[in-house]
Amino acid sequence: MGIVLILNVWGFYHVPILVAGVRNQRRGSRKEEKAPSPIETLPSFSVIVPVKDEEKVIGRLLQALVRLDYPREKKQIIIVEDGSVDKTVEICAQHARRYQGQIELIHGVMSNGKPSALNHALGHVKGDILAVFDADNVPEPDVLMKVAKYFEDTSIAGVQGRICSLNEDENMLTKIVSCEAAVWFETCMRGKDTLNLFVPIAGSNYFIRRSVLEEVGGWDSKFLCEDLELSARLVKKGHCLMYAPEVLSWQENPRKLTWLFRQRMRWFRGCMEVSLKCGNLVKKPSRRNVDAEVTFVGPSILALCFMNYFLGFFMMLNPVQPTPLLIMITQTLTFLSAFHLTAIGMSLVYATKLWKTRKLLWLPLIYAYWVLETFVATYALIQVALGRPQEWTKTMKNGTIASSAFRQREDLHMQVPQVDN
């Protein structure tokens, strides 16, 4: 009965968040357009990009960073190379020479994952605000100018921008993953921000004050999800993180199931480990602290859902006389899953405007994808329970651009003259 209660509470807890996110989308962006700030009042940015074996995508990112519409004297680009064995170093060095004074290439002391590379960059940063992008990102030219307006409020410690898919039209899997990301960013994150709840850092296209990062001691390299662990420490100290839907960057989604499995395995296990470390946030009850705890236990809830599916399959193969308690648990979990998926489906319609396109035909695959996610979460939970060694796995990328939305925005940018900073 306790498990049933937990799952019900967790499922219905997210309904107001989804509703708030949908309402925010319908009203448009929360942030009103302001007149451009004088150059002398703009904060300085240090853009950090950790890279390892990214020859297929790093050149594309470097070109996008150089084209950022922001004063050159207030923009620093740091590439942290972390033991590449392909042509990544050569490509980065070529760009550093070509754009001397704009791009700085440094090498990590040892190859020990993304958080270690980020910490190594801290000794080289000069900006007031740190921006972090992954190697496969393509940020919009105006990301720094738009996010700078948020930091005019000195109470804001960090901002998470929106991430869209570069290859959503590549295959069925990338389509589904891009839909999932649309719901997460444009509904859940919007809803959390609107309700002043916990806005987690998503690992890329995020921005944080250098003074705040130094205060909490940088990134913790002992965690697979260094972004979520950093978010936990920030909220624990009372810092405010916000979501900026208009601060847009594009990146690749996994195009193969094996790539997706490794990525989600790292995410789910990392989240579970953060929940074990930060389970004391509820000792200081607040809206953000409680929501952070709910966010951290999400993968564990997915694992509980998979156990329900497994139990139902087992009962089909081995018919037994069900007890009233077993019937109630099974029916309740089934109803909860259906209810939650329906809410997600409605959010998906608003987040991706499915009613205007043939993408509506993809909706029946949401349930199958959900089951896959619950399986990965269960596997991650087993790894944590058995104390298996951590393994940092890099998400593979192949440099594919297969997104009609991205191409349309690129055409639009080409029509707008770029300011030479």
- The structural domains of the chain, with segments of one domain joined by +, span 1-28+136-415, 46-127
CA–CA separation, 102 vs 136, rounded Å? Answer: 19
**In the prediction, which pLDDT does 338 show?**
66
Instruction: Tell me 255's DSSP state.
Output: -
Question: Edge to edge, what strands does the sheet with 138-139 contain?
Answer: 103-107, 75-81, 45-51, 129-132, 206-209, 156-165, 240-251, 138-139
Q: What is the CATH number of domain 46-127?
A: 3.90.550.10
Q: Give, for 414, the enclosing helix (H) or strand (E).
A: helix 404-415
Q: Report the 3 state secondary structure along 155-208.
A: CEEEEEEEEEECCCCCCHHHHHHHHHHHHHHHHHHHHHHHCCCCCCCCCCCEEE
| CA dist 232 → 17, 36, 134, 275 (Å) | 19, 33, 21, 9
Question: What region does 64 belong to: left with phi over 0, alpha with psi -120 to 50, or beta?
Answer: alpha
Across the strands, what pairs with 162? Answer: 248
* Contact (Cβ atoms closer than 8 angstroms) between residue 232 and residue 17: no
Question: pTM value?
Answer: 0.87
Which pair of tokens denotes residue 84? 């590449």
Mean pLDDT per 10-residue interval, the chain, length 421 residues: 62 83 73 63 95 94 95 95 90 95 86 86 94 96 96 96 94 88 90 95 96 94 91 93 96 93 94 87 83 92 80 66 68 65 63 54 73 92 90 82 83 54 47
